[in-house]
Structure 1
């Protein structure tokens, strides 16, 4: 009797069958991720690619002459504010200037795209109980994570290609364009590893997303500090960053010197960093319990607090850690603004091109005619305004998460009205906006005064922070209306609108985007409060916010709950 007829399966056949089963399961998991993310990834990737193409074309049209580009680079080198926000110049060529103007921002967007992707397919799945169900199948516990890593790798390769094609479409050299694209995708992959690691550390998706996004913003800020303290080399149109830039994956991407050096070794550093983090994630996942984080959740009370007896109390309890994270980010941004503002003032006060420096600050949102320190603080607080708007966006997205998970349906089965439920979460979003901007104003004012600036700088800091409140609130109101009308589009529309709006409104002036396009962004119409005060744009945005919130409150009563 043969071994086959005796019921014995050769080891080679078993191994082949196992490989086929694993490949089939991995393919199914990967298809599920691609299908689930198809619209979100499409919006992110196309938005980043379009920004690359549009920025390159705009710079070509605006700074067509070598003299104009040289003047712009000299102004940037003389003004650390621009270096903090944009990067380090590597020459006055059109392509090199484009990379200098746009790379750090699209790398920031790539980082946020990837941290959200990592948490969505790891911690969020465990939090909803779906990961445990999948682990009970032949997929086990590690194969879904493998599928997520493959999914992210494919997404970042696509991002790199589309970004490179965007630069090529604008007429830039092919080789350098794809180096720039690779640096963007490499930064995204590095931050994917960060997001996946935090998904192991924290037991909630809110905590994982909040801390991972904070690391992305911190990497942008650390890179900015290193670039602001860079040294001029060569022909005076190139700079070498200080050591803090090497602490950031965004700073690594800058070192590729796209269009000049075209050095791909920093991209390998980004990929190696991601590989180390992913290896650590697999090691941690093999030893921790499903659903648990390395930092254990704090034990709750035996009896609920009286504050949880209402809709607002519950909304605040659910979002308090996230609000705290954004507030800390605002305080750090304000601290940076105040500390560097005095340095900028002393270093630029005797600059012969003071008018040009003021014009550059005006283009990044620091309008007015006040002291240079106040203008600098206003410019940095416009970036903090993005954090405040992000806090508002996340509050609305939390509404959608509560609805999709079915929790909202349980709450609305009580005497709680839909309008009150909606407004409770939006009130938390409004409070988050106030706390982020207040923390930034206090930190900026006190740090500037401690550095020797006038006490009046504190008042200017509060005015600059207040000017960002209508921008954040209009995101809160309009996205609330999107949530009511198109609930499944809440998250992709919210983050895409914030990313594109921040670039077009804050940085569009530096690359000379058309005025009509800039003013499609709320950030371009933030009130001017330094020097000549103008609140016209703020009043319009507050009016739009009130109208959008009223529309959302009326329409929420007329639609069915959208589960799943």
Structure 2
């Protein structure tokens, strides 16, 4: 028991900065979203109008949740539950892989195995650490809702739903850490599982059965396949049913038991699934450090591009609903037009709103590719490259170029999807032009995040991953949804996405875009220059 406490305390100490960022960030998002919804949609009729709109356009539910009433708490749970559960899932899978497969790669697991600790004890400490982290997140969400004035019992049911969902994803991350030989592959599989669960839940909501009053929707059976769907089934602030969370807990117990079985039969450093054999001879692409950086990043670029293509198609294919949207929910229509700028048509507002989300995807792609450099450094695989005549400034600059190319690919693919979706519009040419302008307008903000990622990599490498994702999450929330939720202008303006040069009528103002390009270029330049004197930093 003393050894277990030592291992648990070591994990808590090691993750104190990252865990604090996740907990505070998720709770702050819950608090700000609830406050903004209360001030913006204080009228029950407005909330009911938005819910009835989702019955007309169920594709909206892919990115929201299950409508379950127009009361204030019910509406907040509809807007935020799936997103909060998504964040808790990402935090949990990263934690699980970092303290299992990551420790084996770094050699820490072997050192622990040389002590009187059993082979299972480190895994047990990781499970306890993950459960505690999710319990704190759930408590933070509940307190945020209570402070905002929502019902206490519903708030704690919502917090428990987010926490239970995180625990379910923790067990999934632990399984992937056993299956794959590299933490990179385990993390990628964990992220894919979380995103898949989010969209499976969305499909179940979109294909569900609406109620006669248009305020409720019964999800399709497929939502039972998603841990996020289990969280939503609690019906916080309405039914307050905790029974679906038992599924998440039983699911987690079974997967953790499977992890112990795998742990008992495999060698340290080995994996359940055999690694793929590489080619006997490298192709010309791998003849240099730039080609290696691109090869390592191809999978991530393709994944983000696929998501951007879907969003691009939705950006223009939903425009036939614009007239009905404007007549049934005029308040939200006004908010959307405010987001796009005075003089923007409602069609432009919807298109630019979707492309703002695509901008977030592109920024996430840029950050992930810069994080690839950090992973190479932490795992020790960057050192052999830098032992050749490759200066460290050039090495970092090459990852920056790869990230920029990845962003261009993501934006270009989203434009192709938008062009395909625009064919159903009354004026496909005009719609395609607006989509192209809105797509290009995302590049300056994404370039800022590319610079932020490179600066964090140079200045604070040990915490750059958590800080970078937190910066993107806050920027996305403030910039894309700030106007819609009625946040103060100064908060909205903190986000690079708030200054994207979006099309307004026949005009596009690139003043903010030029400034962001300059800021991004300055950040990239400072990072490359500062890299000259920075020592390599192993995994912390």
After TM superposition, the score normalised by the length of structure 2 is 0.89
Aligned to 1:239: 217
Deviations 1:115-157 (A, max 9, x none): 1111111222222233334334433433222221111111111
Aligned to 2:140: 162
Paired residues of 1:348 and 1:354 also in contact (CA < 8 A): no
Alignment partner of 1:194 is 2:194:
no
Tell me, what secondary structure is at the counterpart of 2:527? Answer: helix
Aligned to 1:253: 231
TM superposition shift of 1:183: 0.9
What CA distance in whole angstroms lies between the structure 1 residues aligned with 2:167 and 2:489?
34
Query: Structure 1 unaligned runs (5+)?
Result: 1-22
Alignment partner of 1:420 is 2:398:
no
- The 5 Å alignment of 1:309-388 reads 309-334=287-312, 337=314, 342=317, 344-347=318-321, 349-350=323-324, 352-353=327-328, 356=331, 358-359=333-334, 361-362=336-337, 369=344, 372=347, 376=350, 378-388=352-362
Change beyond 3 A, Cα 1:280–1:427? same
Aligned to 1:16: none
TM superposition shift of 1:327: 3.1
TM superposition shift of 1:29: 1.8
TM superposition shift of 1:378: 4.4
What CA distance in whole angstroms lies between the structure 2 residues aligned with 1:404 and 1:212?
19
What CA distance in whole angstroms lies between the structure 2 residues aligned with 1:201 and 1:530?
50
Paired residues of 2:17 and 2:463 also in contact (CA < 8 A): no
What CA distance in whole angstroms lies between the structure 2 residues aligned with 1:544 and 1:537?
11
What CA distance in whole angstroms lies between the structure 2 residues aligned with 1:241 and 1:208?
30
What CA distance in whole angstroms lies between the structure 1 residues aligned with 2:310 and 2:229?
19
Aligned to 1:121: 99
Alignment partner of 1:432 is 2:406:
yes
Aligned to 2:517: 542
Change beyond 3 A, Cα 1:498–1:420? same
Paired residues of 1:183 and 1:253 also in contact (CA < 8 A): yes
What CA distance in whole angstroms lies between the structure 1 residues aligned with 2:28 and 2:177?
30
Paired residues of 2:46 and 2:329 also in contact (CA < 8 A): no
What CA distance in whole angstroms lies between the structure 2 residues aligned with 1:453 and 1:45?
46
Aligned to 2:487: 513
Change beyond 3 A, Cα 1:56–1:488? same
User: Considering only aligned residues, what root-mean-square deviation do their CA atoms show, in Å?
Assistant: 3.0
Alignment partner of 1:502 is 2:476:
yes
Change beyond 3 A, Cα 1:527–1:244? farther
Aligned to 2:368: 394
Quick check: 158-167 or 399-408, which moved more? 399-408
- The 5 Å alignment of 1:35-434 reads 35-75=13-53, 77-80=55-58, 82-233=60-211, 235-334=213-312, 337=314, 342=317, 344-347=318-321, 349-350=323-324, 352-353=327-328, 356=331, 358-359=333-334, 361-362=336-337, 369=344, 372=347, 376=350, 378-434=352-408
What CA distance in whole angstroms lies between the structure 2 residues aligned with 1:126 and 1:307?
30
Paired residues of 2:425 and 2:431 also in contact (CA < 8 A): no
Paired residues of 2:100 and 2:123 also in contact (CA < 8 A): yes
After TM superposition, the score normalised by the length of structure 1 is 0.85
Change beyond 3 A, Cα 1:350–1:126? same
Alignment partner of 1:492 is 2:470:
no
The alignment covers a number of residue pairs equal to: 537
Paired residues of 1:363 and 1:506 also in contact (CA < 8 A): no
Quick check: 489-498 or 537-546, which moved more? 537-546
What CA distance in whole angstroms lies between the structure 2 residues aligned with 1:261 and 1:239?
14
TM superposition shift of 1:40: 0.3
Deviations 1:507-553 (A, max 9, x none): 33332211221221223333314754343433232221111111112
What CA distance in whole angstroms lies between the structure 1 residues aligned with 2:502 and 2:142?
37
Aligned to 1:18: none
Among candidates 532, 536, 540, match of residue 561 of structure 1: 536
Change beyond 3 A, Cα 1:329–1:553? same
TM superposition shift of 1:423: 0.1
Tell me, what secondary structure is at the counterpart of 1:154? Answer: helix
Deviations 1:259-296 (A, max 9, x none): 11111112222222322332333333333443334443
Aligned to 1:34: 12
Tell me, what secondary structure is at the counterpart of 2:157? Answer: helix
Deviations 1:403-450 (A, max 9, x none): 334444444344322211110111121122222233333344335648
Paired residues of 2:337 and 2:345 also in contact (CA < 8 A): no
What CA distance in whole angstroms lies between the structure 2 residues aligned with 1:219 and 1:453?
36
Quick check: 422-431 or 453-462, which moved more? 453-462
Tell me, what secondary structure is at the counterpart of 1:286? Answer: helix
Deviations 1:146-171 (A, max 9, x none): 22111111111111111111111222
Change beyond 3 A, Cα 1:520–1:147? same
TM superposition shift of 1:174: 1.3
Query: Structure 2 unaligned runs (5+)?
Result: none
Change beyond 3 A, Cα 1:32–1:363? farther
